[in-house]
Amino acid sequence: MSLFDSASLVVTPNGQKAGKLYSIKPSDGSGDLSVTRATSATRVNANGLVEIPRTNLFLRSEEFDNAYWTKANATISANATTAPNGTLTADKLIASVGVSDHVLRSGFSITPNTNYTLTVFAKKSEYNFFVVRRIGSVIDTYFNLNNGTLGNVGSGVVASILNVGDGWYRCSVTFTPTTGTVVDISLSNTNGVISYNGDGTSGIFIWGAQLEVGSTATEYIPTIASIRTKFAGITQDGSSASNIPRLDYTNGSCPSILVEPQRTNLALRSEEFDNAYWVKSAASIAANIITSPNDTITADKLIEDTSASAHRFISTSFSTLNGVSYTLSIFLKKAGRDYAYIRLNNSGGDIIAANINLLNGTVSQSIFGNITIVPYNNDWYRVIATGTSISTSNGTFEVRTSNSATYANYTGNGTDGIYVWGAQLEAGSNATSYIPTTTVSVTRNADFISKTGISSLIGQTEGTVLCDIKLTKLSEGKNLFTIDNGTTNEYIALTRVSSNIFRLSIKKTGTSAVNIINSSVINDSRCRIAISYKNGDYAMYVNGILRGTSTNSTDYPTTALTQFVLSNASYGALNDSYNLISLWKTRLDNDTLANLTTL
């Protein structure tokens, strides 16, 4: 019998849905782990791109005859022609008889000073022009459905028209309203003419309306009675990609199960460096001019002016606490200048300061803090820096262009600079996955992953657990896994004591936890860790090496072990990436443990 055949539970990053991480053994669902987060999150997808959940804020996106869509001097003929997806679900928008605007209006009220992108699939019928309007501050933008070109484009609007075949075009407008209002969709037969005499039969075909926060159109998300969000290939109702396990590809071509604690991005306007929140000094920002690490045109360019100065942007101040570690991270790319300087400081002085080489992703000058640089697609780097504040005061997050390996102020040329995207500042000693922000700080809850009621899959008097994990982050005092009785009264746990030291401990009712094995220092970033437990016979192997044994025979749990936990509210989240978790109901011999854990 193979080791896989004898295992009682095997979980890999092979499949998921909202609230569920599938086991490959057993395959009947009895071993599937439950996942709870209750907030959105991001991941790196299989293409190496930062994937951000996107939400279609429109309801009834293919049902324009529904009462959600107000018709003014216009009517809808439902399911009048074949839609871009090949179904008979596209409607016809018809201008009513009389001289007027002929309008289709959603019931969604947009928020001032927020970037939105609206898209609709449209096709000519008797009329040629599809029009997007906004009441209160007219931004009429015309799309020529006869030849697939833009007509008049409203002030402050970024528009595009994409041919999707069979006469259909995806029409897109991006705009930032200064007042709250609703959005109108209209039609016309003449560019620039919004009020005209309809005949009651002529119009255009429309399908698939989408309104999303952001400056780039993303994949269409159909909606019915509620707004819908899509993330990691999963679509769910509501504005949050909650409880979706994250199969993350940060570490290469194979995914890992990302398990992170709760964190808050304290930096606002994380992708909007042209906003007044980021104060520019001897520099300017060109917004949304290049493809960002999430494959949307949302990255900005920090451009130096011609003065002899520090060419930079600085955040509005935020509170920092004495003795707290902070981690700054931002995605950077060279744009004429090959170096960038990052800084975090408060009244106590610099917390982080470093000069970064964007040609090869190295630290050219480390002044304060611990610096890590992670390469991404298309010459982007995520620059990560951690330092500890020595005062309680307001702090600032700063990024500068740099023209040399050792930072100094210099005379700019007015055109060169660096590309910037995705600023994050979090209290903690490591960077977690990117958390987008706009007007307020945003918190991503912890990933809680566990399975209850599986005493039949857990070795009660003896057993073995194998974890293959990438130790990319420091998470002291958190458990790699816990097997317990459904409470914290009795358990067997493997804890990450410090950066690369692990501890096997056990607890039974009425006693304190007992440390069974403390491993020696492990310097590998990837670890295959196996522990075998049996009263009086414990062992721990890491990467093929025996790290400790114990003959303790006094503190073994006495109640049924029913729950397997990677992370929950009782034990916390480790903040790392799992490649494999397996359980056996027997204490495997040491030779087998050595073979199992050899990389």
Q: How far apart are alpha carbons 210 and 180 in whole angstroms?
A: 18
Single-letter residue type at 129: F
Residue-wise pLDDT for 385-432, tens only, equals 999 999 999 999 999 999 999 999 999 999 999 999 999 999 998 899
> 440: buried, middle or exposed (CB in 10 Å: 19+, 13-18, 0-12)?
exposed
CB 313 within 8 A of CB 279: yes
pLDDT at 475: 65
**Residue 485: alpha-carbon gap to chain centroid:** 34
CATH architecture of the domain 3-38+447-597 equals Sandwich (2.60)
pLDDT at 112: 82
Residue-wise pLDDT for 123-167, tens only, equals 999 999 999 987 555 678 999 999 999 999 988 889 999 999 999
Q: How far apart are alpha carbons 41 and 38 in whole angstroms?
A: 10
CB 256 within 8 A of CB 577: yes
The torsion angles phi and psi of 456, rounded to 5 degrees, stand at: -70, -20
pLDDT above 90 as % of the chain = 82
pLDDT at 289: 94
Is a pLDDT exceeding 90 seen at residue 525? no
Interacting residues of 338 by C-beta distance below 8 A, sequence separation 6+: 357, 358, 359, 403
Is a pLDDT exceeding 80 seen at residue 17? yes
pLDDT at 138: 61
Residue-wise pLDDT for 68-120, tens only, equals 999 999 999 999 999 999 999 999 999 999 999 999 998 788 888 888 999 99
CATH class for domain 70-230? Answer: mainly beta
CB 244 within 8 A of CB 35: yes
Q: Of 165, 132, 135, which is closest to residue 148 (Cα–Cα)? A: 165
CB 320 within 8 A of CB 326: yes
Mean pLDDT score, 36-61:
96
Is a pLDDT exceeding 80 seen at residue 367? yes
Mean pLDDT of the chain: 93
pLDDT above 70 as % of the chain = 98
Label residue 497 by pLDDT band (50, 70, 90): confident
Look up the CATH number of domain 264-444.
Answer: 2.60.120.260
Residue-wise pLDDT for 464-478, tens only, equals 999 999 877 656 788
CB 385 within 8 A of CB 298: no
Structure tokens at 477: 């005092």
DSSP string, 198-237: E-SS-EEEEEEEEEEESSS-------SSS-EEEETTEEEE
Structure tokens at 435: 């958390």
pLDDT at 136: 56
Is a pLDDT exceeding 80 seen at residue 519? yes
Q: How far apart are alpha carbons 439 and 124 in whole angstroms?
A: 39
pLDDT at 32: 97
3-state helix, strand, coil in the chain (%, to 5): 5, 50, 45
> 167: buried, middle or exposed (CB in 10 Å: 19+, 13-18, 0-12)?
middle
For 72, other C-beta atoms within 10 Å of its C-beta total: 13
Label residue 520 by pLDDT band (50, 70, 90): confident
Q: Which residue is it, tokens 């194979």?
A: 254
Mean pLDDT score, 32-52:
96
Show me where the domains of the chain are located. 3-38+447-597, 70-230, 264-444
Structure tokens at 581: 């978790």
The torsion angles phi and psi of 477, rounded to 5 degrees, stand at: 80, 10
Residue-wise pLDDT for 500-515, tens only, equals 789 999 998 888 888 9
- Domain 3-38+447-597 and domain 70-230, same fold? Reply is yes
Is a pLDDT exceeding 70 seen at residue 236? yes
Residue-wise pLDDT for 286-327, tens only, equals 999 999 999 999 999 999 999 999 999 999 988 999 999 999
Q: Which residue is it, tokens 């914290």?
A: 488
